[in-house]
Amino acid sequence: MNTKKKDFLWLIGVIILLIIIIIILIKLSSQPESTNVCFKDNCFKTVIARTPLEMAKGLMNQHINKNGGMLFVFKTPVNDKFWMKNTLEPLDIIWLDENKQVIFMSKNTPVCENNPCPSYGTEQKSLYVLEIKGGTADQIGLNIGDKLNFSL
């Protein structure tokens, strides 16, 4: 093999290696998308679930602190139901319309202990669903019709 061909193959190998390293670094450094969801003086640092995989996993096998949660963001308004499969603690599940107004709540939704797991939700269409630690909605006085504040 001539020198030019060896140099070219070596250069291609280095470029491929650099691309692989860059991809690995991007994956390792990427943090889940998050936003603060606030009601009056109460704010929750929420992880955002946008993809079907993120939404299916939800808060399974995770403990959340009193100021944490998950915000499900749909592309268009839907009337999805939620279940508590593999959750570790009761949650308050809060459905919001496109104006970020509370349209339905399932408070202290119990963990699913037997299959099939019951589903919770409303027939009203929602654009967002917020999951927070069970009992929190009552503690902060959250009611149907209240508006939450957050930026995406």
Same domain, residue pair 13 and 68: no
pLDDT at 76: 95
Q: Compute the mean pLDDT over every residue in the chain, rounded to the nearest whole number.
A: 89
Residue 122: C-alpha distances to residues 1, 14, 81, 106 (Å): 70, 55, 7, 9
d(CA 44, CA 116): 31
Say how many domains are in the chain: 2
Among candidates 128, 143, 149, 152, which has minimal Cα distance to 78?
A: 128
Is a pLDDT exceeding 80 seen at residue 126? yes
What is the DSSP secondary-structure string of 82-126?
EE-TT-SS-EEEEEE-TTSBEEEEEEEEPPP-SSSPPEE--SS-E
Question: Which carries the bigger pLDDT value, residue 29 or residue 86?
Answer: 86
Per the CB < 8 A criterion, the answer to whether 104 and 95 are in contact is yes
Above 60 in pLDDT, residue 84?
yes
pLDDT for residue 4: 76
Considering the domain architecture, whether residues 121 and 58 belong to the same structural domain is answered as yes
The Cα–Cα gap between 58 and 47 comes to 9
What average pLDDT score do residues 58-84 get? 91
Per-residue pLDDT reduced to its tens digit, 13-46: 778 877 877 766 666 555 678 899 999 999 999 9
- Write the DSSP symbol of residue 58: T
If one compares 152 and 143, the residue with the highest pLDDT of the two is: 143
For 22, the domain range is: 1-30
> Do both 85 and 13 map to the same domain?
no
19 lies in the same domain as 81: no
